[in-house]
Structure 1
Amino acid sequence: MSDDFDEFLREMAGVKPLASDVIEPKKEKPTAAQLARREAAEKHLADDINYLSMEFVEFVEPEAMIEFRRDGVQHGVFKRLKQAQYGIEASLDLHHHSLRRAREALFEFIQLCHRRGVRSAIVVHGMGRHSKPHPALLKSYVAKWLKQLEPVMAYHSAQRHHGGAGSVYVMLRKNSEHKNENRERHQKRS
Structure 2
Amino acid sequence: MFFVVKYSEGFKLKLVKEYLSGKSGYKFLAKKYGMKDSTPILRWVKSYEKFGEEGLRRKRNKTVYSVQFKLEVLSFMKRTGSSETETALKFGLKNPPLIASWKKAFLEGGTEALDRLKGRSSMSEKAKNKKSKHIEEKEMTYEEKLERENELLRLEVEYLKKLRAFQMDPEGYLEKHKQRYHSNSKKPSN
TM-score class, shorter: under 0.3
The structure that is strand-richer by fraction is: 1
TM-score under structure 2 length normalisation: 0.22
Q: Which has the higher helix share?
A: 2
Larger radius of gyration, structure 1 or 2?
1
